[in-house]
């Protein structure tokens, strides 16, 4: 990339393709020059009060979010991207740790000035852009985005990324999911999530792509938009999103002649999801791996190889190693299972205001991911599980993904999630939650498990759900499923 900052990337696309579609929602459609004009108007307004300071953007995926983000950068501020789906109490805690100058949101927050913004206001503030005066004040070392990591235990941690880091991230994303001029993108994940940030906010800019934004994630709506908007890149995200789209009544008879790239990430993809998507669309899901602290790390690509069930090969200038679980210092050989540690030019430098967490994650020059996996002879990384998700049954390590993959091979099962539950004799036992695509009962599913699993890996119970609970990032909410076990009155034995 010729750009040193993400704002320069936007500016280059706006100058080179001013009339190209930039973004479209149910209520607004903006060309690149339209968006540049709105950004310039808002940046001029904000500049005196936010230059050099943090601004919290608390909006859903929308044209308003995109305008707010770049307006903050062009005004010399530091955008902090706060998930719109967080409860009010969590947002207020995050704001307390940001020391933000203002918030930009469609709602207000106690004790901090707010610049009200929504798509109707964006329409009203639109003025013709003056490219001669729209200048990017940012440098490669300036903060381009403050993202948040974690949050499953405790408050999410601040992860500041510089322009240099974001540009390196965009380059590696484009290495894996190679785009063309004026591609049409349909992102689903929130822009506040690193995957959604890349698929909806950052990488479409590289070749003046258009971003089509659904009002909400509703599978029938997504199928309609893929067809009607002639989408070429579907930023689907985790496997739960693809599974939900395939479960739509409209999916079976839909055709997607324009669709050519289907990236996947956010959680490991079961082989069954790859198989079913390819059978239905003729397209591969190009699964990748990353985290807020460094993304992407690996990607399956046509030019370097595709191995369904793996997360692909390391992106350029990025080191991926498997180390022992006990000390984290012994690099393991091909095919051995251990913790994944990584380093590259797009990695974070630490968590703001959280020295202890930084020390736990950044060690020996690497980011310790907390994920468990293996690397094969060809360099493909396969993620076995999260370190914290491993189930300890009578001294044996049980990896939920192995059981989940097996369950998805059952013809009646459309979704699966396996969590740990404490047990008086065994220490812990696996508990399986499934959704169905056709009729099956628990006895049948348990019999299938007994035929295919060693005794200590057998689920102690199977629960059939109408649908899986999802996090705001579109991943199956393991915490919610695990917590639901505590509310059940029937004891779990086995």
Check if the beta carbon of residue 68 is closer than 8 Å to that of residue 104: yes
Residue 235 lies in a domain: yes
Residue 385 lies in a domain: no
Which of 327, 446, 459, 457 lies closest to 397, judged by CA?
457
- Look up the pTM and report it: 0.85
Sequence-separated (6 or more) residues with CB below 8 Å from residue 227: 254, 255, 256
Tens digits of residue pLDDT in 32-82: 999 999 999 999 999 999 999 999 999 999 999 999 999 999 999 999 999
pLDDT confidence of residue 1:
83
Rounded Cα distance between 74 and 108, Å, is: 23
Same domain for 306 and 402, yes or no, is no
Same domain for 266 and 399, yes or no, is no
pLDDT confidence of residue 489:
57
CATH of the domain at 454: 3.30.300.30
Same domain for 360 and 430, yes or no, is no
pLDDT band at 490 (very low <50, low <70, confident <90, very high): low
**Among 88-92, 149-153, 247-251, 457-461, which stretch is predicted with the lowest mean pLDDT?**
149-153
Rounded Cα distance between 239 and 415, Å, is: 9
Same domain for 420 and 355, yes or no, is no
- C-alpha to C-alpha distances, 135 to 75, 115, 129, 168, 405, nearest whole angstrom: 9, 22, 11, 22, 51
The angle that helices 63-74 and 6-16 make with each other, rounded to 10 degrees, is 110
Rounded Cα distance between 429 and 491, Å, is: 13
Same domain for 413 and 360, yes or no, is no
Same domain for 167 and 315, yes or no, is yes
- State the DSSP H helix or E strand holding residue 294, giving kind and residue range, or none if neither: strand 294-299
**Mean pLDDT (the chain, rounded):** 93
Query: Which tops the pLDDT comparison, 21 or 127?
Result: 21
Residue 383 lies in a domain: no
**Residues 154-168, mean pLDDT to the nearest whole number:** 93
CATH of the domain at 242: 3.40.50.12780
Rounded Cα distance between 390 and 66, Å, is: 39
Same domain for 109 and 247, yes or no, is yes
pLDDT confidence of residue 154:
64
Check if the beta carbon of residue 470 is closer than 8 Å to that of residue 476: yes
The angle that helices 271-281 and 400-408 make with each other, rounded to 10 degrees, is 40
State whether the Cα torsion 473-267-7-301 is positive or negative.
Answer: negative
The answer on pLDDT for 491 being more than 70 is no
The answer on pLDDT for 126 being more than 80 is no
Query: Which tops the pLDDT comparison, 88 or 344?
Result: 344
Q: Are strands 262-264 and 285-291 parallel, antiparallel or unpaired?
A: parallel
Q: How many CB atoms are closer than 10 A to CB 177? A: 24
pLDDT confidence of residue 139:
96
Same domain for 339 and 412, yes or no, is no
Q: Number of folded domains in the chain?
A: 2
Residue 397 lies in a domain: yes
pLDDT confidence of residue 493:
52
Same domain for 28 and 150, yes or no, is yes
The answer on pLDDT for 219 being more than 70 is yes
Residue 101 lies in a domain: yes
Residue 229 lies in a domain: yes
Per the structure, the complete domain to which residue 278 belongs is given by 6-320+335-368
Same domain for 364 and 396, yes or no, is no
Tens digits of residue pLDDT in 376-435: 999 999 998 777 788 888 777 788 988 999 999 999 999 999 999 988 777 889 999 999
The answer on pLDDT for 438 being more than 70 is yes
The answer on pLDDT for 152 being more than 60 is no
The answer on pLDDT for 185 being more than 80 is yes
The answer on pLDDT for 151 being more than 50 is no
Residue 421 lies in a domain: yes
Residue 378 lies in a domain: no
Same domain for 113 and 172, yes or no, is yes
Q: How many CB atoms are closer than 10 A to CB 386? A: 18
Percent of the chain topping pLDDT 90: 81
Same domain for 147 and 104, yes or no, is yes
């Amino acid at each position: 990339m010729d750009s040193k900052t993400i704002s320069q990337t936007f500016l280059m696309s706006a100058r080179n393709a001013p009339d190209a579609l930039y973004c479209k929602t149910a209520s607004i459609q903006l060309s690149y020059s339209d968006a540049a004009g709105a950004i310039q108007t808002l940046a001029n307004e904000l500049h005196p009060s936010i230059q050099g300071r943090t601004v919290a953007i608390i909006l859903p995926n929308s044209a308003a979010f995109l305008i707010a983000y770049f307006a903050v950068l062009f005004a010399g501020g530091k955008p902090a991207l706060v998930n719109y789906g967080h409860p009010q109490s969590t947002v207020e805690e995050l704001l307390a740790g940001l020391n933000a100058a203002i918030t930009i949101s469609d709602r207000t927050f106690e004790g901090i000035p707010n610049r009200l913004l929504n798509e109707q206001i964006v329409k009203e503030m639109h003025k013709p852009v003056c490219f001669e005066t729209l200048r990017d004040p940012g440098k490669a070392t300036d903060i381009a985005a403050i993202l948040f990591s974690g949050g499953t235990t405790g408050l999410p941690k601040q992860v500041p990324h510089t322009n240099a880091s974001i540009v390196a991230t965009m380059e590696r994303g484009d290495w894996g999911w190679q785009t063309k001029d004026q591609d049409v993108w349909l992102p689903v994940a929130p822009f506040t999530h690193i995957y959604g940030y890349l698929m909806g906010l950052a990488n479409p800019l590289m070749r003046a792509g258009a971003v089509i934004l659904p009002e909400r994630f509703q599978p029938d709506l997504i199928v309609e938009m893929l067809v009607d908007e002639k989408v070429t890149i579907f930023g689907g995200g985790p496997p739960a999103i693809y599974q939900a789209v395939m479960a739509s009544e409209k999916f079976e008879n839909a055709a997607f002649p324009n669709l050519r790239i289907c990236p996947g990430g956010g959680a490991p993809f079961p082989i069954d999801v790859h198989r079913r998507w390819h059978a239905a669309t003729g397209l591969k899901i190009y699964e990748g791996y990353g985290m807020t602290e460094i993304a992407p790390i690996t990607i399956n690509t046509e030019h370097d190889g595709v191995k369904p069930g793996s997360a692909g090969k390391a992106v350029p200038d990025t080191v991926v190693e498997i180390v022992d679980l006990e000390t984290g210092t012994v690099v393991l050989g091909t095919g051995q299972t251990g913790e994944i540690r990584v380093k590259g030019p797009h990695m974070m430098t630490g968590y703001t205001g959280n020295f202890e967490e930084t020390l736990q994650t950044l060690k020996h020059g690497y980011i310790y991911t907390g994920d468990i996996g293996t690397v094969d002879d060809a360099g493909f990384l396969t993620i076995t599980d999260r370190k914290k998700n491993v189930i300890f049954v009578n001294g044996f390590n049980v990896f939920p993904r192995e059981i989940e993959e097996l369950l998805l091979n059952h013809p009646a099962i459309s979704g699966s999630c396996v969590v740990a539950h404490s047990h008086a004799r065994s220490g812990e036992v696996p508990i399986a939650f499934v959704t169905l695509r056709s009729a099956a009962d628990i006895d049948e599913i348990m019999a299938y498990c007994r035929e295919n699993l060693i005794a200590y890996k057998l689920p102690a119970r199977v629960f059939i759900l109408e649908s899986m609970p999802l996090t705001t990032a579109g991943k199956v909410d393991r915490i919610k499923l695990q917590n639901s076990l505590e509310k059940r009155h029937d004891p779990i034995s086995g």
